[in-house]
A and B are shown apart, each in its own frame.
Chain A
Amino acid sequence: MTPIIFKNVTKTYYTSKGKYGLLKDALSQMVSPLSGKGSSPKPTVVALKNVSFEVKKGEALGIIGRNGAGKTTILKLISRITYPQSGKVKAEGRIGAFIELGAGLHHELTGRENIFLYGAILGMKKKEIQEKFDDIVDFAEIRKFLDIPIKKYSSGMYSRLGFSVCAFCNPDILLVDEVLAVGDINFQKKCLTKMRSFARGKTIVFVSHDLDAIENISSKVMYLDRGKIIKIGKPKDVISLYKKTAKKELIDY
């Protein structure tokens, strides 16, 4: 069973002024050919170039690469937040995209209300949230603060709430984008343990600059550079290639 398949995927972002943004710019762009100015070329950024790979059920794929390599774009394509210009993306099952913890939490609502809201955003049914409610509250250690608006929470409590709901949302595919650094030491340990228990039976795609965490959790690693896959393979091999390449660039620089 292959929950994630990328086939010849190309993703382009348009960055031109006037295509979308402000109506007044779009209108002036339409008018400018008449006024004699030449039409400016449409600036684009090719985030992914003809990328193909697969992630089988139970595999944990770590993605590493420089900033701007296209790592977050891959996560966005898997979770259907954006769509490719060409090629095919297949991702089956419930997807838990932990691309930013707490996206959708509203500061006026209480912790309790936000658990239900955030759970719903992550795709959980209300019944499911009710059943897991106590577990979520205990994991996040916010039992005493449940009925206070979260605008009064500390940033640690806020992150714990977010992570806790995510931890129990039980997706088939887990997408993680560098969000593991929350809470104090104890909580971090809890999170890492929870992440590793996820690894059993689920499919994970994990983006991080923390190479130790990548080596720890991944069953295979992909090195991405400027939209192209440089290497996919055993974590140790790919990570050392990445380190060598980065070092070389640093020296040249």
Chain B
Amino acid sequence: MNIWISELWRFRELLWAFTLKEIKIRYKQTILGIGWAILQPAALTLIFTVIFGVFLKVHSGSVPYPIFVYSALLPWTFFSTAISFGALSVVNNGGLVTKVYFPREVMPLSAVGAAFFDFLMASLIFILMMIFYKTSVNLNILYLFIIVPSILLFTTGISLILSTINVLYRDVRFVIPLLMQIWLYLSPVIYSLDQVPPKYKGWVAINPLVGLVQGFRDVTILGKIPDFGILSFSIITSLVVFILGYWFFKKKERIFADVI
């Protein structure tokens, strides 16, 4: 693992250049520019509020449904954007892979980095919403310092795994939109974890995003301490997924140029 990290460190400027490129090209041709980062979670918040908040009357506890759902859409959108771009990143840069040497993980990592930039932009709206809805913030928000890095690790791990599989089996990319759709419903974005019947809670919580997304919501707008059992499971799983994902990627990386 050390060799990989030190090699990646050697190429840190390339990683930065790639991430910058990803961000720039996403916004160069759109009128809204950076507004796109905000549009996706905002539009989903609107439609979810109408369908799930108003029509189906999903309970949102002590806060209004819009900010209830946005607080989870924020980390979720980061995850799904990073995966959607990251999984295709190596194949899309196939020309480079067959011509220039650099540690290939630069590609999915830059996709994750660009998605994180979007996340930061969308967080600004989140802060505005928190002010608007006058949600209570307390020191529990400091838990974000472990929750957000864990989300980053998990997202990076999945990105690395999927981007590898996509190089080897090119039709995997068709599965990814469906995978993201299903995963959205398996995560407590539209609903809260305590609304899941107790006999299913254990199964649902196997998804690391459950602990992380619920935790994100708990500490930001509910001022609650997160459920440590589920959260620590999610954090450990995120770390394991990252390590396994990185290892899997580096093992298969050697044949990328032969197979692309």
Residues of A within 8 A of B (CB): 13-14, 20-24, 26, 76, 79-83, 95, 97, 99-100, 103-104, 106, 108-109, 113, 116-117, 120-123, 125-126, 149
- Identity of the chain A residue whose Cβ is nearest the Cβ of B15 in the assembled complex: A120
- The answer, among A82, A97, A116, for a CB contact under 8 Å with B100, is A97
Which residue of chain A has the shortest Cβ distance to B169 in the bound complex? A23
Give the Cβ gap from A124 to chain B, nearest Cβ, in Å.
Answer: 8
A21 lies within 8 A of B169 (CB)? yes
CB neighbours (8 Å) of A100 from chain B are 95, 99
Tell me if B171 is interfacial: C-beta within 8 Å of chain A. Answer: yes
Residues in B with CB closer than 8 Å to A125 are 13
Within the complex, the shortest CB–CB distance from B21 to chain A, in Å, comes to 6
- Contact among A81, A97, A126 for B97, CB-based, below 8 A: A81
B-chain residues with CB within 8 Å of residue A126 when the two chains form the complex:
13, 17
The chain A residue with its CB closest to the CB of B174 is A23
**B132 in the interface, Cβ–Cβ < 8 Å?**
no
- Partner pick for B170 among A14, A22, A83, CB 8 A cutoff: A22
Q: Which residues of A contact B102 (CB under 8 A)?
A: 121, 123
Known: A95-B101, A103-B96, A120-B14. A109 touches B170 (CB 8 A): no
Pick from B22-30, B138-146, B221-229 the stretch touching chain A.
B22-30
Q: Which of A22, A95, A108, A120 contacts B17 (CB 8 A)?
A: A120
A117 interface neighbour in B21, B29, B172, Cβ under 8 Å: B21
* Residue pair A120, B13 in contact (C-beta under 8 Å): yes
Chain A contacts for B29, CB-based, 8 A: 108
Assuming the contacts A22-B169, A23-B172, asked whether A80 and B21 have C-beta atoms less than 8 A apart, the reply is no
Q: Flag B80-111 by CB within 8 Å of A: 1 or 0 each.
A: 00000000000001011111111000000000
From known contacts A20-B168, A120-B17, infer whether A109 and B257 are also in contact, taking CB-CB under 8 Å.
no
Cβ–Cβ contact B100 & A121, under 8 A = yes
Within 45-65 of B, Cβ neighbours of A (below 8 Å) are at none
Identity of the chain B residue whose Cβ is nearest the Cβ of A22 in the assembled complex = B171
Assuming the contacts A79-B100, A100-B95, asked whether A117 and B25 have C-beta atoms less than 8 A apart, the reply is no
Most chain A CB within a 10 A radius of its CB, from B21, B29, B95, B172: B21
Give Cα A105–Cα B148 distance, bound, in whole angstroms. Answer: 33
The residue that A104 contacts in the complex, of B95, B167, B259, with Cβ under 8 A, is B95
Complex alpha-carbon distance, A23 and B165, angstroms: 9
Q: Which residue of B lies closest to A78 (CB)?
A: B101
Asked whether B134 is an interface residue with its Cβ less than 8 Å from the other chain, the reply is no
Q: Which residues of B have CB within 8 Å of A99?
A: 99-100
Known A21-B259, A106-B21, A109-B21; further 11 A-B contacts with Cβ < 8 A: A20-B168, A22-B170, A81-B98, A82-B254, A99-B99, A99-B100, A103-B95, A104-B95, A108-B29, A109-B25, A123-B14
Bound form: Cα–Cα A121–B168 in Å? 24
The answer for the CA separation of A97 and B102 in the assembled complex, in Å, is: 12
Residues from chain A with a CB closer than 8 A to the CB of B11 are 123
Question: Closest CB-CB distance, B9 to chain A, in whole Å?
Answer: 13
For the complex, what is the distance from the CA of A126 to the CA of B20, rounded to whole Å? 13
Query: Which residues of chain A are within 8 angstroms of B255 by Cβ–Cβ distance?
Result: 20, 82-83
B22 to chain A, nearest CB (A): 10
The complex places the Cα of A20 from the Cα of B258 at a distance, in Å, of 10
The docked-state distance in angstroms from the alpha carbon of A210 to that of B257 is 27
Q: Which residues from B are CB-within-8-Å of A149?
A: 28
- Is the CB–CB distance between B96 and A104 below 8 Å? yes
Look across to chain A and name the residue whose beta carbon is closest to the beta carbon of B253.
A83
| A97:B101 contact, CB within 8 angstroms | yes
B171 touching A79, Cβ below 8 Å: no
Would you call A20 and B99 a contact (CB within 8 A)? no
Nearest CB of chain B from residue A100's CB, rounded to whole Å = 5
User: A122 vs B259: C-alpha distance in the bound complex, in angstroms?
Assistant: 23
A13 to chain B, nearest CB (A): 6
| Complex Cα–Cα for A80 and B99 (A) | 10
